[in-house]
Amino acid sequence: MIETIIHILVIAGLIVSAVLVYHFKDLLAAALASGLFSFLISLEFYILQAPDVAISQAAIGAGLTTAIFIIAIRSTKRYEEDAP
């Protein structure tokens, strides 16, 4: 019963974080929401009994990719410009 509740909460978090990534105009906030999405995906892999994939996703997806996004955003404009 508790596993089902946790599974539903993780899925809901995935949906919310995906919507946040799409709607944020601040690129740093979008990168952090993308990192949250990757972390929740790794948690989902762990729930589905794939701990090796979960560790890889947490290290590469949530950790390294988010760090690379933040470094890239630091050298460009932080806010997305609206299309004319």
Cα distances from 84 to residues 15, 16, 69, in angstroms, run 29, 28, 26
What contacts 84, CB < 8 A, 6 or more positions away? none
Label residue 84 by pLDDT band (50, 70, 90).
low
Asked if the model's pLDDT at residue 82 lies above 90, the reply is: no
Please report, for the chain, the start and end positions of each structural domain, with discontinuous segments joined by +: 2-74
In degrees, rounded to 5, the angle at the alpha carbon of residue 36 between the alpha carbons of residues 18 and 46 is: 100
- The model's pLDDT over 32-80, given as tens digits with 9 standing for 90+, comes to 999 999 999 999 999 999 999 999 999 998 899 999 999 998 888 777 6
Determine the pLDDT at residue 78: 76
Determine the pLDDT at residue 35: 94
Written as one string, the DSSP assignment of 6-22 is HHHHHHHHHHHHHHHHH
